[in-house]
Amino acid sequence: MAATRTGGDPGLFGPDSVTWQAHGDPMMWVAGIRALYLQALHPRAVRGVMQNSDFRRDAWGRLMRTAGFVGTTTYGTTEAAERAGARVRKIHRMLGATDPGTGERYALDEPALLLWVHCAEIGSYLHVLRRSGFPLTDAHADRYLAEHRHSARLVGLGPGSVPADRAELAAYFARVRPELAAGAEAREVDAFLRRPPVHPLLVPARALLWRRVARLAYDSLPAYAHELYGRPAPPPATVTRRLRVTGTVLRAIPAGVRWQLPPRHILRAVERLGPAARPAPYRIGRQAAILDPPGEGAAD
């Protein structure tokens, strides 16, 4: 696939990437909440967030800033992506956190912390998209992870230190598993995600919509995360079915309607590059014959 307009900056990934097609899917919102649940299980990482941000009172703002960063680095120009990365690196260099048990002071741009946040985020995106029915084969999944060595560089990681395929990502999670725990900060994040503060008029919507989405994101976590949080999840087959139903419903909303929501990254990218740059699941399907060796399927 090629954009119809020549001379436009395709950005960090470009319309021919798996990332470009996948990040336009509405299930990315569920995946983002899953990532927050997972990231909060690393005590040093979540402590850095809680000690350096107004998460309790501005959690919505933080969520939207994260979504804005992902949208800019995926669909913005190369210059915009590099600027966004530079801002993140500058903020991380200025901040630190203190371990209340030992008194140790540590920097938020420690490579180990940056790597955890990156892997929990990208791994969650990939897991939810595939499990909800977005057509990513094994080869697509590996290509997606390799592409995100670029986004890892933007936040200060050496690309060579970042998992580049599913096997490397699984090995990373197995290696870091003993460091994870559901401490006080993680439980505070959990409490917020289950019952975020909203205007009184929005309380019914929170009960009807948000709780279902947050519960679905939680249920899609790995088994060890359920054990740490201390809340069981339905059987995996039930979770997968709910993810697929939710994905089907959300994808039925016309893309042109979904993309009108601020900050409209995709619409601006299409204006820059032309209509052939529109992300869509069927474009992923067209690449399968090229990317996949014979017999390789899309099972997770």
> What digits encode the pLDDT tens for the residues 195-204?
876 666 666 7
Give this prediction's pTM.
0.90
- The single-letter DSSP state of residue 197 is -
DSSP of 42-88, one letter per residue?
SHHHHHHHHHHS-HHHHHHHHHHHHHHHHHHHHHS-HHHHHHHHHHH
The neighbour count for residue 268, using CB atoms within 10 Å, is 16
pLDDT one-digit tens code per residue, 59-111: 666 777 888 999 999 999 999 999 999 999 999 999 999 999 899 999 999 99
The neighbour count for residue 145, using CB atoms within 10 Å, is 23
Q: Helices in the chain by DSSP H: which ranges?
A: 18-22, 28-39, 43-52, 55-75, 78-94, 111-131, 138-147, 149-154, 166-176, 184-194, 203-205, 211-219, 223-229, 236-251, 255-258, 265-273, 281-291
> Identity (one letter) of the amino acid at 282?
Y
pLDDT at 292: 47
The neighbour count for residue 18, using CB atoms within 10 Å, is 26
| Residue pair 109/115 in contact by the 8 Å Cβ criterion | no
pLDDT at 300: 40
Please say if the pLDDT value at position 17 is more than 50. yes
pLDDT at 294: 38
